[in-house]
A and B are shown apart, each in its own frame.
Chain A
């Protein structure tokens, strides 16, 4: 069999999940490698504008952060009783966005879902960059971020230790672990493709650069022997990890005794919400990238369809929670619970946030019952924007409405964010896109080796099937 024929066994067959196949084009391995690596070598005319714009936003973020650190967090809108506001909303939002990346790369790896392959690197990079944004907020919220190391148990001259019965040290450990493990998992998956980039790079400096990062990967069978199983075990570790991280984040609220927070439903609710907003973000990034780099044959309509179905599922989990929370408040018979859930949220001063959340998270996503909406990039992108907005507002609702009306009406207060709050939020969005653009420019963002392996495996199973059919006929 020659190189040209090898992919002729190509899999233009239907996916078991229905819909289009996960890979479309018939081409040789060489041609596919060249095509998927080409974004690294060619000029992108629009790139300097995009990187310039997001870079400018990052500079503004740096300014806002510096101003906050020098002056103090009095610049922000939060004050007693709303002591936790934008800092925690944005932290939970960003870290939640990261979860879909790990979900795609780890959970779908274990479930052997084929459509994961084309998008996993993309999604994992999104995870890393989202965690970076998330980490910024609690750090700044410390007020004196230069003392962050007090959270680490080290033998200090003060003779005391961190209090590990609080959920805040849990968060520190969970988020740093999550970042480290995601980075290792991502880098490990990247090694074979960095080696391919090293071997195809047109310029010497590029060969050297990719050569250093590829760590000398040669694709020897002893490499693959350790690599394959380690990657799989990584997937097995990252699966409970991703569930634990947002569980820990939800503990920040659930172990407090505040009406609106103190609820056993929070861990699963937060995890579902995280995956919901994360899938929306993956789609928001992938739909433009797919159009710009013409990736329609590796990121097919089937990918869009499947991810839209994930949105629908997680959207319903979130909707279910919105129903259970008021029910439990009523069932508990506790007047404070009832007030928060049944009066203040739907009818209070922040009612518009509540109803916006219901519209964005529960109603808009119902459009995805239609296959046309699920497979149309533009319409799907629109729904994702609503989901993203809805999930941010949901965290706003959870945090602000639970806090702003204290047990004592004399301390009630209406919270409004300051312009610094908005600048930092906008700045992190720019910084996130800035990092993402750098990733697209310098890293092979579609896993090439994995796609070739998938093609090989699918072609093999197809030829086996064909052989079986021949035997049956005979």
Chain B
């Protein structure tokens, strides 16, 4: 969110109540900033795709790990150890498992960051005076300017919902 109206609340419950009321009133482009995850809010968003991507990456990593070992030890330079099968699956399992976990974790970390739009060291919301308490003990809600129901009336509505204050961020002034 680059421009719109942001309001500060002093408790998680007040924030969740305000979020509810705005949603009921038909606002769709809402955002919130909280010092810790609030289950009540996170649940309302569509489910994250990151775990599925991790699953895909894990399967790819495991498959790659196995094929690599098979190619090296059974195909390209076969080594006969005591007459055991060249494609000796039990001996290939540890590396297969480890490469699956490694690929899934790398994918999870970077995809979760990417989906969150990070790293991004600067963001317009940091311009707001006092916003730094959003990572400490204050709870912020934001309504994007592109929301169809967006209007300057919001300042008043938010104050009624118990916001400590509301500010205008970016956009046309």
Contacts and interface: CB of A to CB of B under 8 A. Distances in A.
A173 B106 CA distance: 15
Nearest to A224: B37
B54 to A, nearest CB: 6
Contacts, number: 202
B119 interface: yes
Interface stretch (A80-88, A174-182, A364-372, A408-416): A174-182
Contact of B48 (A199, A211, A225, A453): A225
Interface stretch (B68-76, B150-158, B165-173): B68-76
A452 interface: yes
Given A221-B32, A456-B12, A199 B113 contact: no
Contacts of A218: 33, 123, 125-126, 134-135
Interface stretch (A43-51, A155-163, A395-403, A425-433): A155-163
A196 B102 contact: no
Contacts of B136: 29-30, 33, 196, 199-200
Contact of A177 (B84, B99, B116): B99
Nearest to A184: B109
B26 interface: no
A177 to B, nearest CB: 4
B54 A180 contact: no
B88 interface: yes
Interface stretch (A108-116, A134-142, A234-242): A234-242
Given A29-B35, A228-B37, A199 B135 contact: yes
B119 to A, nearest CB: 4
B25 interface: no
A383 interface: no
A381 B66 CA distance: 45
Contacts of B94: 170, 173-174, 244, 247-248, 251
Contacts of A184: 105-106, 108-109
B24 interface: no
Interface size class for chain B?
Answer: 35 or more
User: Chain B CB within 10 Å — which of A160, A170, A233, A457 has the most?
Assistant: A233
A70 interface: no
Nearest to B46: A225
Contact of B77 (A161, A227, A251): A161
DSSP class of A's interface residues: helix, strand, loop or mixed?
Answer: helix
A182 to B, nearest CB: 10
Nearest to B69: A164
Contacts of A417: none
Interface string B128-147: 00001111110000000000
Interface stretch (A1-9, A91-99, A271-279): A1-9
A183 to B, nearest CB: 9
Given A218-B125, A223-B118, A180 B102 contact: yes
Contacts of A247: 94
Contacts of B118: 215-217, 223
Interface in B7-65: 10-14, 31-39, 41-42, 45, 47-48, 50-51, 54, 58
B73 A165 contact: yes
B36 A453 contact: yes
Contact of B50 (A176, A212, A220, A229): A229
Instruction: Name which of A163, A212, A220 has the most chain B CB atoms within 10 A of its CB.
Output: A220
A150 B44 CA distance: 51
B36 A192 contact: yes
Contacts of A177: 98-99, 101-102
Top 10 A-B residue pairs of the complex, sorted by shortest distance between their CB atoms: A161-B72, A199-B132, A29-B137, A215-B119, A453-B36, A224-B37, A230-B112, A170-B94, A216-B120, A165-B91
28 contacts: A1-B14, A3-B11, A6-B10, A6-B12, A30-B133, A33-B136, A161-B72, A164-B92, A170-B94, A173-B99, A174-B98, A177-B101, A180-B102, A184-B106, A188-B109, A196-B35, A200-B132, A200-B136, A216-B119, A217-B135, A219-B33, A221-B34, A222-B31, A224-B41, A229-B51, A230-B50, A230-B54, A230-B109
Given A218-B135, A221-B41, A251-B94, 19 more contacts: A33-B137, A161-B73, A164-B73, A188-B112, A199-B133, A200-B132, A216-B120, A216-B122, A217-B118, A221-B33, A221-B42, A225-B48, A226-B50, A227-B37, A227-B116, A228-B42, A230-B54, A230-B109, A452-B36
